[in-house]
Amino acid sequence: MSSDPKISIVGLHKSFGSNQVLQGVDLDIAAGKSLVVIGGSGTGKSVLLKCILGLMAPDQGSIRIDGEETTRLSQKDRARVAGKFGMLFQGSALFDSLSIWENVAFRLIHADHIPRDKAKEMALQAMARVNLAERNADLSPAELSGGMQKRVGLARAIVTRPQILFFDEPTTGLDPITADVINRLIREQVTDLGATAISITHDMESARHIADEIAMIFQGKIIWRGPAKDIDNSGNPYVEQFVTASADGPIDVMGG
Amino acid sequence: MNPLASIGRASLGMSRTTGRLALFAWRCILAMIRPPWFFGQIWRQILSIGFYSLPVVGLTAVFTGAALALNIYTGGARFNAESFVPNIVGIGITRELGPVLASLMLAGRVSAAIAAEIGAMKVTEQIDAMRTLSTDPFRYLFAPRLIAALIVVPLLVLIADIIGVFGGFAVATQSLGFNGALYVRNTMDFITSWDVGSGLIKAAVFGFIIALMGCYHGYVSGRGAQGVGRATTNAVVSAAILIFASNYLLTSLFV
């Protein structure tokens, strides 16, 4: 990397009992770049994301955001750093008890203490950016389809124009057309905001669409990293097996 | 060797749970006493815990008061002490049965509902989402429920006291031949403000336990429907046991 990375991860370890999930992850992400981490189920993608977000404390290692060590922050500082983040969860994670616009405006109202009228206006603008009509604003999340819920989740992630965006399996459970819509929206928003983005997915179509760079995680370590355009010619047998979705190769899917 | 190992494992597990619960309770108390407070959430919880629990608490109290009057009359008749029905119904309801039975019913209704709601929020990553939105779930989710329970459970118990005494009054005057005016005067003369006050202090403690158990078990619930189901059961059972245990401790302090 030529300049200081936006996010710098060094020697990250995380275990659950005897299960060593992350075994020394090293990863730098430059400002304004979109990195997609690919890997099979149970390889540590979600744990990596949760450690960066501060939702989980790593056992060992360092996570620096804009040069600031974030693994041992106080609750107050954690909330301040979280102000730089926007996150789209796999299942959207919308609050059932709140309307769509209240979901989108949640951070504005409760963390940034913006008056409700102003927050609603900003929420409607964010909804418009992900092609969600204003008539949906007062519905509850349960009244929307999975694709629309993803768009609400995306609107909630971008409403404060965050510096860093996280996407956890953004297309899981969506039909191919809706998945393409979500991929396009993610790419548009990352580009418009000039944000740094980290996504985790095992959907290669999604990875190709969203990524500037792709990294593959296997057995708790990053085993390959390169530009998204090189993913089909990585020269790495693990990546090749994953990209071609083949049961034959060095990754033993049957052995767990 | 194996039985010792089992005892050791159980002891360690219990110590771990106690420690986790104590830390959780401490974080909840800090969130309750330090601003910001989410007044909208507190009001919503007051309605949910308090207003919507009125029928179940009222019905429990009226039937308990009525049954108590019948039992005291039957027992008192063995040594010509039937006239003590108003006094013993009054003290029994205000000091003991009002707070304990109302709180047990609330443990079933409120602890279970809180554990299920928080557990479902955890499973669907809504609590993680809240954190990424710079909002502390201890302040936004747990503190409002605990504050609401602290306010509302004593009020519900006060209502249960009145309805319970009325239940005894109704049976005594309609079935047992008591004079209504005399019954009311005996009750009012006998019950002291400390009888009612001590019951309300118990109710506040029970309210805290009810909300705390719901929040804690929801927060530590496992994945999936089974995890949430287990959290709900654990919340109700642990709330009920802690209500009984703390009732004994408080009663021994108050007598």
What are the tens digits of pLDDT across the range B13-72?
999 999 999 999 999 999 999 988 999 999 999 999 999 999 999 999 999 999 999 999
Would you say residue A256 has pLDDT above 90?
A: no
How many angstroms away from the CA of A237 is the closest CA of chain B?
34
* Minimum mean pLDDT range among A81-95, A116-130, A182-196: A182-196
- The closest CB to that of A55, out of B38, B128, B134, belongs to B128
CA atoms within 13 A on the CB side of B212: 24
Would you say residue A255 has pLDDT above 80?
A: no
CB of B90 closer than 8 Å to CB of B187: yes
CB of A147 closer than 8 Å to CB of A174: yes
pLDDT of residue A1: 44
Look up the ipTM and state it: 0.89
- The closest CB to that of B133, out of A75, A91, A106, belongs to A106
**Do the chains contact at A87 and B134, CB–CB below 8 Å?**
no
What are the structural domain ranges in chain A?
A: 32-42+75-211+221-243
What pTM was computed for the model?
0.88
Average pLDDT over residues A114-125: 96
Would you say residue B116 has pLDDT above 60?
A: yes
**Do the chains contact at A106 and B131, CB–CB below 8 Å?**
no
Could you give the CA distance from residue B38 to residue B129 in angstroms, rounded to a whole number?
18
**Do the chains contact at A93 and B128, CB–CB below 8 Å?**
yes
Could you give the CA distance from residue A196 to residue A7 in angstroms, rounded to a whole number?
9
Give the CATH superfamily of A32-42+75-211+221-243: P-loop containing nucleotide triphosphate hydrolases (3.40.50.300)
Would you say residue A253 has pLDDT above 80?
A: no
Average pLDDT over residues B179-191: 92
- Strand order across the A60-65 sheet: A19-29, A7-16, A60-65, A68-69
Q: Which residues of A touch B133 (CB under 8 A)?
A: 82, 106-107, 110-111, 156
CB of A36 closer than 8 Å to CB of A210: yes
**A243 band by pLDDT with thresholds 50, 70 and 90:** confident
Average pLDDT over residues A80-106: 94
* A81: nearest CA partner in chain B: B134
Could you give the CA distance from residue A214 to residue A232 in angstroms, rounded to a whole number?
11
Instruction: State percent of chain B over pLDDT 70.
Output: 100
**Do the chains contact at A82 and B134, CB–CB below 8 Å?**
yes
What are the tens digits of pLDDT across the range B71-105?
999 999 898 888 899 999 999 999 999 999 999 99
How many angstroms away from the CA of B51 is the closest CA of chain A?
19
Average pLDDT over residues A176-180: 86
pLDDT of residue B217: 96
CB neighbours of B6 closer than 8 A, spacing ≥ 6? none
CB of A25 closer than 8 Å to CB of A35: no
How many angstroms away from the CA of A93 is the closest CA of chain B?
5
Percent helix, percent strand, percent coil in chain A, to nearest 5: 40, 25, 40
Could you give the CA distance from residue A229 to residue A146 in angstroms, rounded to a whole number?
30
**Do the chains contact at A82 and B131, CB–CB below 8 Å?**
yes
Could you give the CA distance from residue B71 to residue B77 in angstroms, rounded to a whole number?
10
CB of A198 closer than 8 Å to CB of A35: yes
How many angstroms away from the CA of B124 is the closest CA of chain A?
6
